[in-house]
Structure 1
Amino acid sequence: MRTLTSPSRPLVISIIAALFAVVLWAGAPLLVDIASSVPPFQLTTIALLSGAIVALPMSIRKRRSRGDQKVHAPMSLKWKLAIYGLLPALILGAVGGYLTGIGMAPTAEAALITYTWPVMFIVMSQWLFHHRLPLPVLCGALIAFSGAAVLLSPEAGGAGLSQYMVGYALALMAGCCWALYSWICQAAPVAIAPLMPGLFLLAAVGAAIADVLSGSAFGLPSGLALVAGVALGVGPYGLAMVAWDLALRNGPAALVGSLAYGVPVLAAAFLVIAGVTAPDWRLPLAALLVVAGSIVATMKRSDDRLKC
């Protein structure tokens, strides 16, 4: 009796890994709210260090695996600079910008703006790999970004928007960083997961330097804030990042990217259930537009699969 062929198994693994990352990412805004007393760059340092530690065993196992030959593949100088220079900067920009933005704007709104990044990722992948933007991808991007626009039009008028503009801008910057990070992970000639501990440590050093330059008091937070900071690194910025790299390596970018649209819906639900955010008609509408945009963006030919 012949076993199932490999094409279906990697796809299943990719979907499971992506859904696992989505659930962990959806819990990030709640953990950030619990650790709100911690300065953002200090929280970024704690989260990235925790993420590096939890990713280390998986990194060692992958390096010892005979099957993962791409770990040892030769790299050009351009790719070395991109992986060891640009990726840590993008991680720092994504995590630091996200945590800082949430501290300067309403948590649910800032999180939803950040998680428009899968649209950016799909658009970027289509353009850079195929040098064209199919109409569904373009329409999907416009629909998803209209969801963010709903959040940028507070009922109180222009005063609310100007008050939170910096926070919203940082949240959008974080989304851009995640999109570019995901594209590099997909296009790189080597697997990124085994390199994550080192990349996270480099980003953590940058966050620690930024924390010192910002003038915040040196020292670890205590109690529940510290637990939330460590959990943030272990889950959303540790296990989720490894799972996301696995998903990108085993599945089509459009399908994997579309699964990430579940993050803002789950995140908003978690915040409302926990009582952190009051129910607001704009949140479900914006989340619906983001999810609808993802569905439209992935309506393309089945043979249009992006390769790593």
Structure 2
Amino acid sequence: MQNRSARLYAAAAILIWASLAALGVKLAHLPPFLLVGATLTFAGLITLPTLRQWRVPASTFAIGVAGLFGYHFFLFVAFRNAPPVEANLLNYLWPLLIVLLAPLLLPGTRLTRRHLLAAATGFVGAMLVVSKGHAGFDSSYLGGYGAAAFAALLWASYSLLTRRVPPFPTAAVGGFCLVSGLLSLSCHFLLEPATPLQAGDLPWILLLGAGPMGGAFFLWDKAMKTGDAREMGLMAFLTPLLSTVILVLAGGGTLDSWALAGGLLIVGGALAGTRPTASA
């Protein structure tokens, strides 16, 4: 029953994250750090009624902020210093890293051949969906590639370490969001041109802050704390596929053969890796 609930939390988080691209199109004119800062700050502000539950050890709070702010910071550094497709491919190392790092960070967890094969299949599928067969890594962008890989490592580590630290209420994620949002806004003022928000931006910022840049983090926290980390990682490969499907439904993309082939691999890998066995 616990695994079933965790899968539902993870599925909800992944589905909400998949809406990010379609919703983000509405705010494409905003610089990245301003967009992340505004949405994360809103996500933190709307959870202020749970402020008393934000009292967690300093080390736990640092892990939370490193996960949310650190991940987005290095991802945007990657997008600035490497081609977006290749940077995004490396970004999708994070589900694979969750699977691979689980035995190292979570005592009592081990990997089977089935998990490794499922993770490799899911990653190849995600690569096909994201790259559409046109990725080409260039050594002149090593700095950007490194930033993308480090972002993936930060998010995978954060996701797993929430199980390793002393138990804390999921409401504390609101504090992680608020501090990460304020740090992102600071990066905007330091690194990006001043960009005034327009009246029409507010509804989309609120929607993003309540959804893929806010609410999904709370659902993911519940999933990682209560479920099998290896399964959560495998399910996360569905994110780029679902994102493509939502974009198509919103009229902003096409479901080509690369997405279909990648989707089959992702779904097949996830099903193979999450089916219950006596030995897993």
TM-score between both structures, scaled by the size of structure 2: 0.80
Equivalent AA in structure 2 for residue 138 of structure 1: L
1:21 to 13, 32, 36: 13
Of 193, 198, 217, the match for 2:170: 193
Q: Does 1:179 align with 2:179?
A: no
Q: Alpha carbons of 1:94 and 1:291: their partners in 2 closer, same or farther (altered >3 Å)? A: farther
Query: 1:216 corresponds to which residue?
Result: 193
Task: Tell me if structure 1 keeps the 8 A contact 2:231–2:273.
Answer: no
**AA at the equivalent of 1:145:** F
Q: Which residue of 2 aligns with 1:136?
A: 114
Query: Is the 2:64–2:173 Cα contact (8 Å) retained in structure 1?
Result: no
Which of 119, 128, 131 does residue 150 from structure 1 map onto?
A: 128
Q: Offset of 1:131 from its aligned partner? A: 7.6
Q: Shift of the alpha carbon at 1:29?
A: 1.4
Runs of 5+ in structure 1 lacking a partner? 1-7, 64-70
SS in 2 for 1:237: coil
Query: Matched residues in 2 for 1:197 and 1:144: separation?
Result: 31
Deviation at 1:239, TM superposition (A): 1.5
Of residues 268, 282, 285, the one that matches 2:244 is 268
User: Does the alignment pair 1:205 with 2:175?
Assistant: no
The Cα RMSD (Å) is: 3.5
Partner of 2:227: 251
1:48/1:204 contact within 8 Å kept: yes
Moved more, 113-122 or 147-156: 147-156
- Secondary structure in 1 aligned to 2:167? coil
SS in 2 for 1:236: coil
| Deviations 1:170-212, CA, capped at 9 Å, x for gaps | 6554433321111011222122513222212221222122112
Based on CA coordinates, which of the two structures has the bigger radius of gyration?
A: 1
CA offset digits 1:190-243 (Å, max 9, x no partner): 225132222122212221221122132053x21443432332221112221112
Residue by residue over 1:38-87, the C-alpha shift from the partner in whole angstroms, topping out at 9 and shown as x without a partner, is 00000110111122123334x358x4xxxxxxx888x6xxxx32x22232
Match of 1:119 in 2: 96
Q: State the identity %.
A: 26
Question: Is contact 2:12-2:216 (8 Å) kept?
Answer: yes
CA–CA distance in structure 2, aligned partners of residues 170 and 271 of structure 1: 27
Matching residue of 2:262: 286
TM-score for the superposition, normalised by structure 1: 0.73
Counterpart CA distance in 2 for 1:244 and 1:135 is: 26
1:99/1:28 CA distance change after superposition, 3 Å: farther
Give me the whole-angstrom Cα distance separating, in 2, the residues matched to 1:90 and 1:279. 32
Q: Structure 1 CA distance, aligned partners of 2:162 and 2:24?
A: 25
Q: 2: distance between equivalents of 1:182 and 1:262? A: 17
Shift of 1:263: 2.2
Q: Match for 1:86 among 46, 54, 63? A: 63
